[in-house]
Amino acid sequence: MNTILLALRNLLRNRRRSLTTLLAMIIGASAILLFGGYSRNITYGMQTGIVQRTGHLQIQHKDFYLYGNGNAAAYGIANYPDIIDKVKQDPVLAPMLTVATPTLQVSGIAGNFDAGVSRTVIGGGSVIVDQNRMRLWNDYHFPLKPQPLALTGTSEDSAVIGIGVARVLQLCESLNVANCPQAPEKQEVAGSRNAPDDIALLSALEKPDRSAKNGTRIEMLAASVHGAPNMAGLNIVKAETQGIKELDDMYIGLHLAQAQKLIYGSGDPKATAIALQLRHTRQIPAARARLEQLLSTQFKNQALGVQDFAKLNPLYGQSIAMFGTIFSFIALLIGSIVLFTVGNTMSMAVVERTVEIGTLRAMGLRRGGIRLLFMCEGFLLGVIGAALGVASAVLLSALINQSGLTWIPPGYVVAVPLNIYVWGETTLIVGSAIGLILVAILSAWWPANRASKMVIVDALRHV
C-alpha cells in the first residue's frame, strides 16, 4: 500500500505529463470500446434478423443441407406434425421453446403469360401465423419494430415475390412498386402471348381465385415429388425487396398449404424443415443435445439431423469473423500507441528522478523495490485510464444512441436506429480494461528495469 501511495504521489508531481498520458489512454480505450460496441450492433442485428426468419435450430433430413437444394421434395419430413408435438411436449425443450413451425422449400418457373414473360423462382412455404410470432423475438433489444408479413390474412393461393421477380414479370405497375423500371419492349413468348396449352390446362384445373386485381395473377410451374409437372395459379399481394439482388430476382413466398399442394399434389404433405426458435441463443447447445437424443430414440427410423442458424447462414459467421479481425487489429494498433506513450512517460520520469533513485538505493531499497515503484506508476496510469476510458465510452455511446442516427445493417432492407452496445457488455468492458492495464504495466517495465540497475554512486552525482 505504501508503494502504491508513493507511486500516486510521483504521478501527481508532474500533472501535465500524467494528464497527457492519461488522455491518450482514455482516447484509446474509448475508441476500442466504441468500435467493439458497433461490432456488437452488427452481430446482434444479423442474429436477430436470421433468428426471426429461420429460428435458432432446424430439424432436417440429414442430407438436406448438402443435397436438398437440387431436389428439396426428395428430402421431405413425412410425419412432421408428430415431431413438432413431441418437441413442444418435451419437458426439457418446452421451457426453452417459443415457436416450432414447418417450412417447405420450393422452386419452379413463374410466368405472367398475359405479358408473355416468365422466370425461374425459388422460395418457400410457411405457416404465416407462426412466422409472425417468430418476428417478435428480440432478445438483444435491437431497435426494430417487426411488421406482420404481407401474407397475413390472405387466401391460400396468395404469394409474395421479390422486386426483381416483379420487374421481370412486368408486375411493378400493378403492384405499385416504386423505382422499378420496366423493359423498353415487352418480350412475347414465341408465337403467342398466351400460356402454352398444357400449362393453361394445368392452371385451369387449379381453379384460381378470380377476385384478385387484374395484372397480379401469375402461374407457377414446379416439378412434383414424382417428377411430373404441377401448376398453381397465384395472386401476388406484394413485391418486397430482399436486400440481396440475386435473391430479390428469384424469391417467392407462399402459404405452406399451397406449397405442399404444388409439390405433393393430393399425396401426403411433407416439410423440408422444422424451424425451432428458442427464448435465448445461449440455449442452443442444450436444446440441440436434447433434440439429437429425441431423434435418435423416438424417431430413429428417420434419417434426421439438427442444424443451427450459424451453419445455415455462412455469411453470419464470415461477418462476425471479419469484424473480430478488424477489432483485434484496431486494439493492437491502439495498444502499440499506449505502449510507447506510457513508456516515454516512464523513461522521462526515470531520467528526472535519477538522484532520487540513488538516494532510495543508498537508504537500502533493493533493485526489486525500485522496479516495483515504477511499475506501480504504470499500473495506476492503466487503472485510471481504463476507468475514465470506460466511463467516456459509455457516455459517448449513450449520446450516439440518443442522436437519432439511422443506418441499414447487413441483412436488412430498412433503416434502423444506430445503437452502440457498450453498457452491459461485461466481457468487452472487462477485457478492454484488463488489456489496457497490462499494456501500461508492460510499458513501465523497461524503464523500471533500467532504473533498478543504476549504480548508486553514479545516480547520486547525476546532475
Q: What is the 3-state secondary structure (H, E, C) of the chain?
A: CHHHHHHHHHHHHCHHHHHHHHHHHHHHHHHHHHHHHHHHHHHHHHHHHHHHHHCCEEEEECCHHHHCCCCHHHHCECCHHHHHHHHHHCCCCCCCEEEEEEEEEEEEEEEECCCCEEEEEEEEEECHHHHHHHCCCCCCCCCCCCCCCCCCCCCCCEEEEEHHHHHHCCCCCCCCCCCCCCCCCCCCCCCCCCCCHHHHHHHHHHCCCCCCCCCCEEEEEEECCCCCEEEEEEEEEEEECCCCHHHHCCEEEEEHHHHHHHHHCCCCCCECEEEEEECCHHHHHHHHHHHHHHHHHCCCCCCEEEEEHHHHCHHHHHHHHHHHHHHHHHHHHHHHHHHHHHHHHHHHHHHHCHHHHHHHHHCCCCHHHHHHHHHHHHHHHHHHHHHHHHHHHHHHHHHHHCCCCEECCCCCCCCEECCCCCCCCHHHHHHHHHHHHHHHHHHHHHHHHHHHCCCHHHHHCCC
Mean pLDDT, to the nearest integer, of 110-133?
Answer: 88
Residue with cell 444512441: 401
pLDDT at residue 184, rounded to an integer: 62
Q: Which residues of 79-94 are buried (b: 16+ CB within 10 A; e: fewer)?
A: ebeebbebbeebeebe
Instruction: Name which residue leads in pLDDT, 44 or 357.
Output: 44
Reply yes or no on whether the pLDDT at 277 is more than 90: yes
For 249-273, the pLDDT digits (tens) are 889 999 999 998 888 877 788 899 9
Reply yes or no on whether the pLDDT at 202 is more than 70: no
pLDDT at residue 11, rounded to an integer: 67
pTM of the model: 0.78
Reply yes or no on whether the pLDDT at 429 is more than 50: yes
Adjacent-strand bridge partners of 77: 271
pLDDT at residue 191, rounded to an integer: 39
Reply yes or no on whether the pLDDT at 296 is more than 90: no
| CB-side neighbour CA atoms (13 Å) of 275 | 26
Mean pLDDT, to the nearest integer, of 339-347?
Answer: 79
356 falls in which pLDDT band (50, 70, 90)? low
Reply yes or no on whether the pLDDT at 47 is more than 80: yes
- Beta-carbon contacts of 378 under 8 Å, excluding residues fewer than 6 positions away, are 342, 346, 440, 441, 442, 443, 444, 445, 448
- Beta-carbon contacts of 207 under 8 Å, excluding residues fewer than 6 positions away, are 233
pLDDT averaged over every residue in the chain: 81
Instruction: Name which residue leads in pLDDT, 68 or 28.
Output: 28
pLDDT at residue 209, rounded to an integer: 47
Reply yes or no on whether the pLDDT at 462 is more than 80: no
Mean pLDDT, to the nearest integer, of 108-134?
Answer: 88
Instruction: Tell me how far apart the alpha carbons of residues 351 and 331 are, in angstroms, rounded to a whole number.
Output: 30
Reply yes or no on whether the pLDDT at 192 is more than 50: no
Instruction: Tell me how far apart the alpha carbons of residues 420 and 398 are, in angstroms, rounded to a whole number.
Output: 8
8 falls in which pLDDT band (50, 70, 90)? low
Reply yes or no on whether the pLDDT at 189 is more than 70: no
For 218-235, the pLDDT digits (tens) are 888 887 776 677 888 889
Reply yes or no on whether the pLDDT at 114 is more than 90: no
Reply yes or no on whether the pLDDT at 372 is more than 80: no
Instruction: Tell me how far apart the alpha carbons of residues 36 and 382 are, in angstroms, rounded to a whole number.
Output: 19
pLDDT at residue 279, rounded to an integer: 93
- 115 CB-contact burial (10 Å; exposed 0-12 / middle 13-18 / buried 19+): buried
pLDDT at residue 55, rounded to an integer: 92
Instruction: Name which residue leads in pLDDT, 340 or 356.
Output: 340
For 210-219, the pLDDT digits (tens) are 444 445 888 8
pLDDT at residue 140, rounded to an integer: 86
Contact 354, 462 (CB under 8 A): yes
* Winning range, highest mean pLDDT, from 162-171, 270-279, 422-431: 270-279
- Residue 57 has phi, psi (to 5 degrees) of -135, 155
pLDDT at residue 442, rounded to an integer: 83
Instruction: Tell me how far apart the alpha carbons of residues 195 and 193 are, in angstroms, rounded to a whole number.
Output: 7
Lowest mean pLDDT of 7-16, 99-108, 312-321, name the range: 7-16
**Percent above pLDDT 90 for the chain:** 20
Instruction: Tell me how far apart the alpha carbons of residues 324 and 313 are, in angstroms, rounded to a whole number.
Output: 18
